[in-house]
C-alpha cells in the first residue's frame, strides 16, 4: 500500500450466512481488505441497498469472479488507504463509489475508476444512494437507449431507486417522461419528481395511457425492469425506431411476443447488467457522470429520494422493507 491511515485488522461486515430470507443477513468479523494496485480502501460511512442485493441474498445473483462475497454495490465514506498507482485521491478524501460487492461493511476496497467525490453539500447517507442507480441509468437510458431532449421516455417502476433516478435525469435533460407505479401514492411521488404522466399499472393499461399521452406516437425509449408479459406490451407502447432497454426481468425472463413489431416499427430491444462490466467501462461512466450529472446533484436539480435509513447491523430490516415494496426511492445503511 502506498499510503494509509491507522486501519484495524478486523472489521464488522454483514454476510449472507446461507441463501434465504432477510434474517440470513448476519454480522460477522472479517479481515479488512487490502487495496491492490489501482485500488483504494474506503472507511464506509453509509451503504446503499439495491434490489440485486436481495437477489444475491436469495442465492439468485452470485458475485462475479474476484468480487467480495459480501453484499453491497455502493458506499460512501473516507479514503482510508491507497494502493499503488493512485494519483487523484488522498487519504481522508470524502468519496462515494460503485463497489463490485462488499459495501455492507466498515471497509471496502474498490477500483479507483469507480470512485467519485461526494456531490457538493451531500451527507454520506445521501451520497451512498447515488452510484448504483446513476451508473445504471446513465448507461442504459442515455448511452444504450440514446434518449434525447424532446423524446419520450417510458420508465417502469417509477418509484424504485432506479425509477426515481431515471425520471429526474430524463426530465433534467429535456425528455417527456411517462412512468408506471403500483399505487396512487407512488404515482404522486413520481409526478413530484418531474414525470409528466404517471400510470397506476394496477388500474390502467400502460399501453393505452402511453399512446394517449404521446398523441398516438408511443415512447422513444422504454427502460424496463419487469420483462415477462411487459415485453409484448412494450413493443406496442414503443414509437417508430423505439429503443427498449431491459435492466431486469422481475415479471419473468421468458416471454412470448409478436416479433413482427420489431420489423414494422424498426425497434431495438437491448439490455445490460452493470456489475460484471470491466473497471475501464465503469471508469468511463464515472467520468461522464462527474462532468454532466455531478453539477446537477450539487445544485439539487436532481437528488436521490431517501426512503429509510437502518443501522448496518439491521440490514435484514432494510431488506424486509425492500421486499415489502412500500418504499419510495432509496433505502440506505448507516455504517457509523
Provide the binding-site residues for ligand NAP, judged by CB under 6 A.
Answer: 50-52, 132, 136, 156-157, 159-163, 180-182, 186, 201, 225-226, 247-248, 250-251, 272-274, 322, 325
Smaller CB distance to ligand NAP: residue 38 or 251?
A: 251
In the complex, the smallest distance separating the C-beta of residue 294 from ligand NAP, rounded to whole angstroms, is: 20
Q: Which residues of 291-325 are buried (b: 16+ CB within 10 A; e: fewer)?
A: eebbebbeeeebbbbebbbbebbbbbbbbbbbeee
Smaller CB distance to ligand NAP: residue 132 or 151?
A: 132
Q: Give the torsion sign (CA, 312, 317, 321, 327).
A: negative
Closest CA to 42 of 123, 120, 119, 98: 98
CB 25 within 8 A of CB 99: no
In the complex, the smallest distance separating the C-beta of residue 67 from ligand NAP, rounded to whole angstroms, is: 14
Smaller CB distance to ligand NAP: residue 160 or 168?
A: 160
Alpha helices in the chain (DSSP H): 51-57, 124-128, 131-137, 161-172, 184-193, 206-213, 230-237, 260-265, 279-292, 294-298, 315-324
Smaller CB distance to ligand NAP: residue 82 or 322?
A: 322
Smaller CB distance to ligand NAP: residue 94 or 321?
A: 321
- Rounded to whole angstroms, how far apart are CA atoms 74 and 301? 22
In the complex, the smallest distance separating the C-beta of residue 221 from ligand NAP, rounded to whole angstroms, is: 15
In the complex, the smallest distance separating the C-beta of residue 181 from ligand NAP, rounded to whole angstroms, is: 4
In the complex, the smallest distance separating the C-beta of residue 230 from ligand NAP, rounded to whole angstroms, is: 7
Smaller CB distance to ligand NAP: residue 171 or 247?
A: 247
Classify 55 as helix, strand or coil.
helix
Smaller CB distance to ligand NAP: residue 117 or 182?
A: 182
In the complex, the smallest distance separating the C-beta of residue 87 from ligand NAP, rounded to whole angstroms, is: 29
In the complex, the smallest distance separating the C-beta of residue 80 from ligand NAP, rounded to whole angstroms, is: 26
Contacts 24+ apart (CB under 8 A), 231-235: 231/255, 231/257, 231/269, 232/256, 232/257, 232/258, 233/206, 233/207, 234/154, 235/261, 235/262, 235/265, 235/267, 235/269
- Phi/psi-derived region of residue 272, left when phi > 0, alpha when psi is between -120 and 50, beta in every other case: beta
Amino acid at each position: 500500500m502506498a499510503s494509509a491511515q491507522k486501519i484495524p485488522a478486523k472489521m464488522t461486515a454483514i454476510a449472507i450466512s446461507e441463501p434465504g430470507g432477510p434474517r440470513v443477513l448476519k454480522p460477522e468479523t472479517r479481515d479488512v481488505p487490502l487495496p491492490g494496485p489501482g485500488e483504494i480502501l474506503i472507511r464506509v460511512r453509509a451503504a446503499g441497498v439495491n434490489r440485486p442485493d436481495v437477489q444475491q441474498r436469495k442465492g439468485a445473483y452470485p458475485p462475479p469472479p474476484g468480487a467480495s462475497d459480501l453484499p453491497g454495490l455502493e458506499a460512501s465514506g473516507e479514503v482510508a488507504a491507497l494502493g499503488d498507482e493512485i494519483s487523484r485521491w488522498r487519504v481522508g478524501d470524502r468519496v462515494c463509489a460503485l463497489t463490485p460487492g462488499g459495501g455492507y461493511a466498515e471497509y471496502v476496497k474498490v477500483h479507483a475508476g469507480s470512485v467519485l467525490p461526494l456531490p457538493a453539500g451531500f451527507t454520506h447517507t445521501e451520497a451512498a444512494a447515488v452510484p448504483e442507480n446513476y451508473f445504471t441509468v446513465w448507461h442504459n437510458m442515455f448511452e444504450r437507449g440514446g434518449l434525447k431532449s424532446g423524446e419520450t421516455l417510458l420508465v417502469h417502476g417509477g418509484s424504485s431507486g432506479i425509477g426515481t433516478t431515471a425520471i429526474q435525469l430524463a426530465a433534467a435533460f429535456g425528455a417527456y417522461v411517462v412512468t408506471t407505479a403500483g399505487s396512487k401514492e407512488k404515482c404522486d411521488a413520481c409526478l413530484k419528481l418531474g414525470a409528466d404522466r404517471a400510470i397506476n399499472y394496477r388500474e390502467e393499461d400502460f399501453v393505452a395511457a402511453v399512446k394517449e399521452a404521446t398523441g398516438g406516437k408511443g415512447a422513444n425509449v422504454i427502460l424496463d425492469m419487469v420483462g415477462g408479459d411487459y415485453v409484448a406490451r412494450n413493443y406496442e407502447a414503443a414509437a417508430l425506431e423505439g429503443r427498449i432497454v431491459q435492466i431486469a426481468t422481475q415479471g419473468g425472463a421468458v416471454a412470448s411476443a409478436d416479433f413482427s413489431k420489431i420489423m414494422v416499427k424498426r425497434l431495438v430491444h437491448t439490455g445490460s447488467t452493470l456489475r460484471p462490466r470491466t473497471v475501464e467501462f465503469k471508469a468511463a461512466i464515472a467520468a461522464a457522470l462527474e462532468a454532466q450529472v455531478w453539477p446537477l446533484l450539487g445544485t439539487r436539480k436532481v437528488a436521490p429520494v431517501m426512503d429509510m435509513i437502518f443501522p448496518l447491523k439491521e440490514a435484514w430490516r432494510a431488506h424486509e422493507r425492500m421486499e415489502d415494496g412500500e418504499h419510495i426511492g432509496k433505502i440506505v445503511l448507516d455504517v457509523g
